[in-house]
């Protein structure tokens, strides 16, 4: 299923054209983190979505003379992708080191515990801003890589494994950063794009886990905006991807799949 007509109707969330019943609102708000409570919090072992991002070697796309421009764009996109990964990993390590080092600092002018607490909170805000800025810079490189790949028009290149692997890798990194930013519409949009690239991508469990979580967040937004139409649309999509995740991750014959299917059947 392609991404729903979400961006055409998303403004309805804020307009609040429809009203939810008090029963629906009360029931759903009281269980805001239900999906998070039954899904793993991290990708499965060995998943390309894990902590260690996969970089690709610079390799020829196709052995065709008329593909030189396409190959150059692929190589440039791959450099942006590799640079984005290296920049973020190195930057994050430096921030974590500075965070640990800051714990050893002693400020003798802070005589009371509340003064120390305020200083710790201000320091943490600084580190969070640094991580935010680092993610923003990394996203900029990933978008540049996407744009380079989008300029490749030759159908043979666009169907080749190197092209699909690189585009999949860029999308994965972009999605992970958008999830950290809590930009759930971006997560939903690009996760659908990622799955549409290949049947292999669709058969990974992690995209469906991310979609189930993101659709629940949007479901909550629809509740707060009293938009009944989008509330039910997001709810059904959440259940669909929750089931698909359970099918891939646990297997249809597993007790975990059965338990999740029962929750979905009870209009989870």
Give the pLDDT confidence of 56-92 residue by residue, as tens digits.
565 555 444 356 788 889 999 999 999 999 999 999 9
Q: What is the pLDDT of residue 154?
A: 84
End-to-end CA, the chain: 21
Residue 52 has which token pair?
């260690």
> Apex CA 146: angle with CA 72 and CA 144, to 5°?
80
pLDDT digits (tens, 9 = 90+) for 209-253: 999 999 999 999 999 999 999 999 999 999 999 999 999 999 999
d(C-alpha 158, C-alpha 61), whole Å: 10
- For the chain, what is the mean pLDDT? 83
Q: What are phi and psi of 45, to 5 degrees?
A: -60, 135
- Given a cut of 90, whether residue 121 has pLDDT beyond it is yes
Task: Say what the pLDDT of residue 21 is.
Answer: 45
User: Model's pTM, two decimal places?
Assistant: 0.81
Task: Judge whether residue 17 has pLDDT over 80.
Answer: no
CA torsion sign for 98, 100, 101, 106 is positive
pLDDT of residue 24: 45
């Amino acid at each position: 299923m392609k991404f729903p007509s979400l961006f055409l109707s998303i403004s309805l969330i804020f307009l609040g054209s429809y009203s939810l019943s008090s029963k629906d609102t009360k029931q759903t708000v009281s269980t805001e983190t239900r999906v998070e409570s039954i899904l793993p919090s991290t990708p499965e072992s060995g998943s390309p979505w894990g902590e260690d991002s996969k970089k690709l070697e610079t390799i020829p796309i196709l052995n065709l003379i008329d593909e030189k421009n396409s190959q150059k764009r692929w190589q440039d996109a791959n450099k942006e992708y590799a640079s984005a990964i290296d920049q973020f990993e190195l930057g994050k390590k430096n921030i974590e080191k500075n965070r640990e080092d800051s714990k050893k600092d002693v400020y003798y002018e802070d005589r009371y515990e509340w003064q120390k607490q305020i200083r710790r909170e201000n320091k943490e805000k600084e580190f969070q801003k640094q991580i935010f800025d680092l993610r923003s810079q990394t996203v900029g490189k990933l978008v540049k890589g996407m744009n380079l790949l989008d300029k490749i028009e030759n159908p043979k290149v666009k169907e080749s494994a190197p092209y699909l692997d690189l585009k999949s890798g860029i999308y994965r990194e972009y999605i992970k950063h958008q999830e950290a930013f809590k930009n759930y519409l971006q997560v939903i949009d690009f996760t659908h794009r990622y799955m549409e690239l290949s049947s292999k991508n669709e058969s990974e469990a992690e995209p469906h886990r991310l979609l189930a979580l993101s659709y629940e967040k949007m479901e909550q937004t629809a509740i707060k905006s009293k938009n009944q139409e989008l509330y039910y649309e997001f709810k059904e999509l959440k259940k669909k991807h929750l089931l698909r995740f359970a099918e891939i991750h646990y297997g249809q014959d597993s007790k975990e799949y059965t338990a999740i299917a029962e929750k979905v059947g009870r209009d989870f």
